[in-house]
Amino acid sequence: MKILAIETSCDETGIALVEAKKVGDSFVFKTHKAMLLSQAALHAEYGGVYPNLAKREHEKNLPILYREFADLACDAVAVTHGPGLEPALWQGVEFAKRVAAERGVPLLPVNHMEGHLISSLVQKEHTNKLEFVSVLQNVQLPVLALLISGGHTEFVVMNEWFNYRVIGQTLDDAVGEAYDKVARMLGLSYPGGPEISKFATRSRERQGESTIKLPRPMLQSGTCDVSFSGLKTAALYSLRGLELSDEQKEDFAAEFEEAVGDVFVQKTRQALESTAAQTFVIGGGVAANTYLRERLQQLISDEFPDVEFRLPELAITGDNAIMIAQCALARALSGKNDAADSTLRAVGNLSIGQKVL
Ligand code: KG4
Ligand code: ZN
């Protein structure tokens, strides 16, 4: 089965054509073509994503990208219909409706966070890497997923395939947003996550130590919820009126990453204990962060050696259409028929599952 997928939930316009087949209990994916146009440089001027600018750019970019796919056949068209910036999502949804109608194939709506989750469980097939082959197999349920992006921060449990419960989430800002805002306070460019990571790495390499200390919010709350607005405000107040040298900025970035790392290690420990998950996976743009990957890897090997830790390939941690295609393919090949019609809507606050305590 071949799916043409479209992603426009934030500031990346993505189209991908991915084929999959089910072999026993495994799904084998082959990416035929994947294209991505990032608007990050444009939004950098505003220090964040500006929704109407994103919408205009998607409108301009979709036909340009689609030209490269126009002659390639597919069995269905998949599209992100939420969550994300609603004006941006609508561009993808309306475009996908037209393409599906023109091709006379079903239209499959995909939840963006489910796309991050499922694609993060998929593993690269090293035997055939020139063909971009990857597989989804041997996943032991329950799965605990930590989804960390610019708009979301949530702990999700999958007890049965494609059935999700949210057991913890941010009460205010997403962690990616905190990275972006703190980066801005330090005068670093958007998107701030990779910049903070670069600065913090330099500090750790020379064993720097920040004189400014930041709080570890909600560490002892007893729930799997997190909060980052207090951390952001603490960063703002502690930097006010100060002129930091580059080394001091690096040390501050490392202190910020350490605070975020401490929070996620404690909350992940709690989530793993309360769910008895057999697989732990992280997904979303912030899952590219080297320091967080290492801290969580350490937690799993020290305290949960029986849990399998899966990490997404770096090429697909940020928003892209391959993850949307993989999610739609895994669902379709599992008999989850989600086909939508021309009334499909973009839903900015679409959730992946019910929140449970
Ligand atoms: O999933 P994503 O591409 O878009 C959303 O769905 O929001 O995530 C974007 C977020 C941004 O906040 C960006 O700063 C952050 O992911 N990010 C990182 C890194 N790379 C991207 N944060 C920390 N470390 C990174 N290496
Ligand atoms: Zn995302």
Does the Cβ of 261 fall within 6 Å of ligand 1?
A: no
Does the Cβ of 180 fall within 6 Å of ligand 1?
A: yes
SS3 149: coil
What's the pTM value of the predicted model, to 2 decimals? 0.97
The answer to whether the CB of 355 falls within 8 A of the CB of 102 is: no
Does the Cβ of 279 fall within 6 Å of ligand 1?
A: no
Nearest to 53 by CA among 63, 62, 43: 43
Q: What is the mean pLDDT of the segment spanning 220-247? A: 96
Q: What is the mean pLDDT of the segment spanning 283-308? A: 98
Least confident span in 37-51, 167-181, 213-227: 37-51
Nearest to 303 by CA among 271, 325, 327: 271
Nearest atom in ligand 1 to the alpha carbon of residue 11 is 4
Question: How many A from CA of 149 to the centre of ligand 2?
Answer: 6
How do residues 126-184 score in pLDDT, each as one tens digit?
Answer: 655 556 899 999 999 999 999 999 999 999 999 999 999 999 999 999 999 999 999 99
How do residues 104-113 score in pLDDT, each as one tens digit?
Answer: 999 999 999 9
pLDDT in the model for residue 85: 97
The answer to whether the CB of 218 falls within 8 A of the CB of 225 is: yes
Pocket test for ligand 1, best of 286, 292, 327, 352 (most atoms within 8 A of CB): 286
Question: How many A from CA of 86 to the centre of ligand 1?
Answer: 19
Least confident span in 23-32, 39-48, 190-199, 212-221: 39-48
* Burial class of 342 by CB neighbour count within 10 A (0 to 12, 13 to 18, 19+): exposed
Q: Give the separation between CA 239 and CA 341, rounded to whole angstroms.
A: 51
Other CB atoms within 10 Å distance of the CB of residue 189: 15
> Which ligand has an atom closest to residue 317 CA?
1
Quote the percentage of the chain above a pLDDT of 90.
93
The answer to whether the CB of 153 falls within 8 A of the CB of 264 is: no
pLDDT at residue 338 is higher than 90: no
Q: Give the separation between CA 5 and CA 111, rounded to whole angstroms.
A: 12
Does the Cβ of 215 fall within 6 Å of ligand 1?
A: no
Nearest to 117 by CA among 320, 294, 261, 327: 327
Question: How many A from CA of 249 to the centre of ligand 2?
Answer: 27
Question: How many A from CA of 113 to the centre of ligand 2?
Answer: 7
Annotate 160-187 with b (16+ C-beta within 10 A) or e (fewer). eebebbbbbbbbebbbbbbbbbbbebbe
Crossing angle for the helix pair 192-205 and 246-275, nearest 10 degrees? 100
Please name the residue whose Cα sits nearest to atom 14 of ligand 1: 193
Question: How many A from CA of 107 to the centre of ligand 2?
Answer: 21
pLDDT at residue 102 is higher than 70: yes
Q: Give the separation between CA 306 and CA 273, rounded to whole angstroms.
A: 12
3-class secondary structure for 252-304?
HHHHHHHHHHHHHHHHHHHHHHHHCCCEEEEECHHHHCHHHHHHHHHHHHHHC
Question: Rounded to 5 degrees, what are φ and ψ at 34?
Answer: -145, 130
The stretches of the chain forming alpha helices (DSSP H) are 40-44, 51-66, 86-103, 112-121, 175-185, 192-205, 229-239, 246-275, 290-303, 322-333
The answer to whether the CB of 42 falls within 8 A of the CB of 10 is: no
How do residues 192-212 score in pLDDT, each as one tens digit?
Answer: 999 999 999 999 999 999 999
pLDDT in the model for residue 167: 98
Residue-averaged pLDDT of the chain: 96
SS3 191: coil
Residue type at 287 in one-letter notation: A
Tokens of 156: 């999700």
Peptide bond into 191 cis (omega under 30): yes
> Which ligand has an atom closest to residue 323 CA?
2
> Which ligand has an atom closest to residue 287 CA?
1
Quote the percentage of the chain above a pLDDT of 70.
98
Peptide bond into 83 cis (omega under 30): yes
Nearest atom in ligand 1 to the alpha carbon of residue 177 is 12
Does the Cβ of 151 fall within 6 Å of ligand 1?
A: yes
How do residues 1-22 score in pLDDT, each as one tens digit?
Answer: 999 999 999 999 999 999 999 9
pLDDT in the model for residue 103: 98
